[in-house]
Amino acid sequence: MLDIKQRISEILAEIIPALDSGEIKQMLEYPPNDEMGDVALPCFKLSRILRKSPIQIAEELAGKIPADPKIAKVEAVSGYLNFFLDKEEFVRDVLSTALNKGNEYGSRDMGKGRNIVIDYSAPNIAKPFHVGHLRSTAIGNSLYRIFNFLGYNSIGINHLGDWGTQFGKLIVAYKNWGSKDSIENGGIKELMAIYVKFHEEAEKDPSLEDEARDWFVKMEQGNEEALQLWQWFKDISLKEFQKVYDLLDITFDSQAGESFYEDKMPPVIEELREKNLLTESHGAMIVDLEEYNMPPCLIIKKDGSTLYATRDITAAIYRKNTYDFDKCIYVTGAAQSLHFEQWFKVIELMGYDWHDKLVHVPFGIVSLGGEKLATRKGKVVLLEDILAEAIKKTLKIIEEKNPDMDESEREEIARQMGVGAVVFSDLSNNRIKDVSFSWDEILNFDGETGPYVQYTHARTCSLLKRAETDVDPNFDASLLTTKEEFRVIKTLYLFPDIVVSAMEDLEPSIITRYLVDLAQDFNRFYHEHSILVEDEALKNARLALVLAVKHTLANGLNLIGLSAPERV
C-alpha cells in the first residue's frame, strides 16, 4: 500500500531544497475536515526558514506541484497546502491491501530477529488479584501482541511477587490466627483476611514485625517449615490467579517470580562488591546514588535479607544472558518510577552497555472512591468479581436479544464481551492517567466501549453472511464515491501507522481510540447506505469495504486482547 505522506514529502523535497523528505514528512498532517483535503502541509514553520509568510509559501508551492496520478488537486488555503487524493486510486489501493492481507493487515516485519522482553501483571502471592492489577496485565498483554504483530519476538514474563518480608508476615499470621482447614476452604480470600489481621495486630504489638522479618530470614536460609508454608501459599494463589488469566485469555512465556532469582543473587552481590559499588550504611549494604540526585539503592538489609532492587538487578542480568533482548520493558505503576531509575542506574554503573535497553512503562494509580487501594487494609475490588459481574450482565442482554441461541455459544459470547467491556474500559484511558474505579462506568456497554466495537464487528460478519456470496477482489473502486464510504476508507488506511504509533509510544489506548473511530465511521456508512443492493457491481464493491472493516476491527481487537465475536 502506498505511503501517501512519503509520496507527498518526496514531491515537496524537490521544490523545498532547504528540507529533506524526512523532515517534511514529520510536518504533514491529516486534516480533521475532509473539505480541507486528505493531507496538509502547515507552512507556518517554513516561514522562519524561507523568510516569507505562510500564505505566500503555500500559494507558491501550490503552483509548483507537478502532476501525479495519486493526487487529484492541490489547494493553498490560509497558510496550509492541502492535497486531495485521487479517490478511485486511493480506494482501490487501500481496500485491495486490506483484503489481500486479511488478518495480517497492519502487520509489518520491522522487528524481525529482535527479542522484546515484557514484564507485566506480576501479582503478589497470597494477595487477591484485584482491579489494580488489571492495568499492568491489560497494558502488558496488549504491548506483547503489538510487538509480535510488528515482527518482534515478544517474551512475556509474569514476575510473580513470591518472595520478601510479606511472607514472613503471612507465616506469623497463619500461626496466630489461621488454620489448615480455613486456608484450604477459603483460599486466597482467607490468606488476605489473616494478612489484614496481621497489620491490625502489629499496630498494637510492633514485635510482630520483628517476628515476621525473622521468618523471612529463615526462608532465605532454607528453613524447611518456612519454605513448606511458603510453597503452600504459592500453590493456592497460582490456582486462583489462573482462573483470572483463563477469563482474560492470557498466557505467559515465563512465570519465573522473585524466588527464581534467590540462588542467582549471591554472584551479582559479589560483582557489585568487586566493582566497588557497595557501601555499608547503618549495617545495610547500599549503592550510593547521591551524585545522581537519587536516594541510595538498598541491596542488603542489616538483617542480611535482600530486597526488590537486588532481585530486579539479578533478573535483568539473567534475562539479557538468556534472551539477548533488544528491549526489556517493565509495566508497573508510576509510583515505582524512582525504584526503576535507581536500579537502572546501578546496572549502568556495573558497566553493562545495555542499560539503556531497560524501559519502565508507568501507568496511573487506580483508586477506589478516591482512596488508594490497600490490600493490608482490605480495601480492594477483586478482578474476578468484576469480570463475573460483566459476564453476567452481558449474558442477560444476549438472552433477551437471542433467546434461541445455543446455550454454550451464548455463554462464550458473554465471556468475550463481558471481559471485553472491562479490558477496553481500562485501555481506553491514556495509561499514565489516574483511574477511579466505578462499577457504573466499567459495566456501561453504551457509547465508546468494547462491546460497541465488538458488536460492529459482528454486524460486518452478519452482512457478509447475508450476502450469500464471496467478495470478488476485483471490485469496481469507481463505484465507492460517497463521503461516508471515503471516510471509512481513509480511516482504514491509517491502521498500519496507528499500530506503529502504539508501539513507539508504548500506548495501547491509541488502538482503542482508533477502533471506536472506525466503528463509528462504519456505522455511519451502514445507516446512510444500503449494502445488499440489486446492482451486483455496487454490492460487491460495498461488501469489499465491509470485509476490509471486518479484518481491521478483528486485528485491532486482537491487539488489545479482545475477542471478535461473529454474532451477538
Q: Are 548 and 98 in contact (CB under 8 A)?
A: yes
Query: What's the farthest any 2 CA atoms get from each other in the chain?
Result: 85
Question: Could you tell me how many residues make up the chain?
Answer: 568
Distance of CA 49 to the CA centre of its chain: 40
The 3-state DSSP class for residue 305 equals coil
Give the Cα separation of 100 and 448 in Å (integer).
29
Q: Are 126 and 238 in contact (CB under 8 A)?
A: no
Nearest Cα neighbor of 375 from 124, 122, 127, 121 is: 127
- What's the Rg (C-alpha) of the chain? 28
Please provide residue 443's backbone torsions phi and psi, each rounded to the nearest 5 degrees.
Answer: -105, 15
Q: Which cell numbers in the block locate residue 413?
A: 459470547
Query: What would the DSSP string read from start to end of 379-442?
Result: B--BHHHHHHHHHHHHHHHHHHH-TTS-HHHHHHHHHHHHHHHHHHHHHTS-TTS-EEE-HHHH
DSSP 161: B
Burial (CB count within 10 angstroms: exposed 0-12, middle 13-18, buried 19+), residue 50: middle
Q: Which residues are designated catalytic?
A: 127, 130, 133
